[in-house]
Structure 1
């Protein structure tokens, strides 16, 4: 026995005790886009219950055969290569039925749904639904998210905002088709007997984000341990009752070239936000904006805004929260609201959103509210009084916790 322990120890020392099969970014992308599936993967007891279900295992076996048959063909277009990973409406309905049956049969799975999933906040819009409808909505959303990634970053379909969110390669090129074929072949070999029904599709979707360099949603995470660590610690000492507002949210205005770190209006937004901060209206500044503009932007707007605040205005680092993922005004407010909830910044207190005149006018308009309803399905914040041409009061809403995997670069 001692001999075998020594061999294992030597192997771990040689390969690295924490070496893993997939890139670390898969873990973060999975958690942020597909919390339900991620939670299953990381709950040993629940995973075992689902793994033993013959109906779900049969679906996995059928998919493995379909993938293998596709790869055996000498000539494949992108559609035929991606197709076996897509989750059909028929299979999606079967899976919902199986999960609801397992919910009734397994106390472990029922407890997982009623506690881990309901309490996560990731599906807060479905929170008041009964178990059957809850499971159906959650699974349907996860399946839709997987299919969206497969179609956009595999087949090259246009996303809603094609100018900034599209596939990174020419999908008509032989290079890309060959790359997808080789990735599919590699991923098929990695499918294990004890994998769950969603593993091939989920893992291939995550691989498509990875190989397309569209891992924006995973960058800078975990924020509370990295860029926002000092501020999270400082928040514990803030008496928010001493301030009229809980925070000042400065919206980004991304440059449209690959050389400028901040745009002219982006710099104006910062100056306007600093003015409100120096008037002691709030104890915190939040800067919001990701790698959105231009396409596959090199610089993260929130990171650059933070640098500007510290270098040019001498704002202490522990007074700044960065939100480095938002790609639109809707998600500026949504993502900030998520961080308030996570960092224990009061949600029942008013906050300020500061931006240039025209942008501020848009945020206070019905057009913005309608866009939030259309794109997010809810209002991420309650827009309140307009203080001046560049400053608006708002109150963050908990609906913002809802995940949206159909926008995988910022779900």
Structure 2
């Protein structure tokens, strides 16, 4: 379950800015999961203050000593080795308090929050928090996200969706234990680091675990707006959305359960239902949503295959099809579609359509689905409005969809 941090008493004026240029590292998976760390690494003043802070220096020293000790004594014990990189609840809390204190004392930390983190929208669900509480909430989310990656992709614990998102190796084998130890040894002794930030060892090992497990799904199609979505991104500039009943038609995926088929029977039905709405000019754009989800570690992104089918079978122009090749669940179908609409300046001030087969549509429109969104994401990515028929619902996108979720590192 995703941890949520709310404080309705503290209000702030600095919120998401659609024109803000987000910080970037050389690792897209990091940027998508742990934007806080990328923002810090891109800020020389904040980095310097963190490096000289005695609390953070002490924590980094202890962490490095713990890792060194694990390399000496835990070569055949994966749990012992991985545990050295995890961050205890006590230290998570201690770091949160120190970050709050740092912001109170330093304008650099204040600017990090007000001029980078808030405008980025990456932690939009924390927007009502005071700057101090906002910064510590961002930290706690990232720390818990790293611990989750360590547990799932380091120790083989079951993720929320075991059949899709599990570790790629048998953790009981000598091969895997040896790989963990050698990766840890390389990161600790051989990889050069530009800074001495307290979170760096845990971050580096977490990202390495995703890489080791071939779990780069979150980065495979970036930059989307310059690749698969380049044509519709350009086409949007020529569209008068007031000429249409709805800004967009979101078609949900339904992945196949074998490695032979690229689309399932119901997935094809969803496409026909959505194509019918587009052909009636209900909206200027179709958004197809589905990542590398079914079956386990499938080489096919469902949205890519859906786009091909819409072009080849229904002759829908490529410039009218937007793809989301990341979503793994219905919750993130709606969330990711909202993110794309915000990024591409498609109006979200009125409902769009979500189209899928009748069974899936009944589920999407049920109260239990909204409850699932709140449990897994911590917010509603959209509000389901009117039902038009058994396969079509109106949905109202919500800006909270921008909020990162490192608990689902394959599509955060």
TM-score with structure 1 setting the length = 0.92
Check the 8 A contact 2:74/2:81 in 1, yes or no: no
Check the 8 A contact 1:49/1:109 in 2, yes or no: no
Tell me whether 1:177 sits opposite 2:177 in the alignment: yes
Comparing 285-294 and 112-121, the one that deviates more: 112-121
Choose between structure 1 and 2: higher helix proportion.
Answer: 1
Cα distance in 1 for partners of 2:175, 2:387 equals: 53
Q: CA, structure 1 residues 219+329, in 2 after alignment: closer, same or farther (shift >3 Å)? A: same
Deviations 1:213-252 (A, max 9, x none): 1111111011111111111111111100000000000000
Partner SS for 1:361: helix
**What displacement does 1:25 show?**
9.7
Comparing 192-201 and 232-241, the one that deviates more: 192-201
Deviations 1:256-312 (A, max 9, x none): 000101001111111111100000000000000000001111110000001111111
- 1:404 maps to which residue? 405
- 1:157 maps to which residue? 157
Check the 8 A contact 1:26/1:206 in 2, yes or no: no
Spell out the pairing of 1:105-124 with structure 2 (5 A cutoff): 105-124=105-124
Q: CA, structure 1 residues 346+165, in 2 after alignment: closer, same or farther (shift >3 Å)? A: same
**What displacement does 1:391 show?**
0.8
**What displacement does 1:341 show?**
0.8
Check the 8 A contact 2:104/2:132 in 1, yes or no: no
Partner SS for 1:345: coil
- 2:285 maps to which residue? 284
Tell me whether 1:206 sits opposite 2:207 in the alignment: yes
Cα distance in 1 for partners of 2:35, 2:333 equals: 21
Spell out the pairing of 1:327-342 with structure 2 (5 A cutoff): 327-342=328-343
Q: CA, structure 1 residues 151+191, in 2 after alignment: closer, same or farther (shift >3 Å)? A: farther
Q: CA, structure 1 residues 169+353, in 2 after alignment: closer, same or farther (shift >3 Å)? A: same
Check the 8 A contact 2:75/2:178 in 1, yes or no: no
Comparing 340-349 and 70-79, the one that deviates more: 70-79
**What displacement does 1:98 show?**
1.7
- 2:18 maps to which residue? none
Deviations 1:376-398 (A, max 9, x none): 11111111111111111111111
**What displacement does 1:115 show?**
2.0
- 2:147 maps to which residue? 147
Cα distance in 2 for partners of 1:85, 1:322 equals: 36
Partner SS for 1:296: coil
Q: CA, structure 1 residues 159+295, in 2 after alignment: closer, same or farther (shift >3 Å)? A: same
- 2:325 maps to which residue? 324
Gaps of 5+ in 2: 1-23
Partner SS for 1:85: coil
Gaps of 5+ in 1: 1-23
Q: How many residues align?
A: 388
Cα distance in 2 for partners of 1:46, 1:229 equals: 35
**What displacement does 1:406 show?**
0.8
- 1:381 maps to which residue? 382
**What displacement does 1:124 show?**
1.0
- 1:363 maps to which residue? 364
**What displacement does 1:191 show?**
5.8
- 1:187 maps to which residue? 187
Partner SS for 2:84: helix
Check the 8 A contact 1:354/1:391 in 2, yes or no: yes
Q: CA, structure 1 residues 182+105, in 2 after alignment: closer, same or farther (shift >3 Å)? A: same
- 1:255 maps to which residue? 256
- 1:32 maps to which residue? 32
Cα distance in 1 for partners of 2:25, 2:273 equals: 36
**What displacement does 1:370 show?**
1.3
Cα distance in 2 for partners of 1:375, 1:240 equals: 32
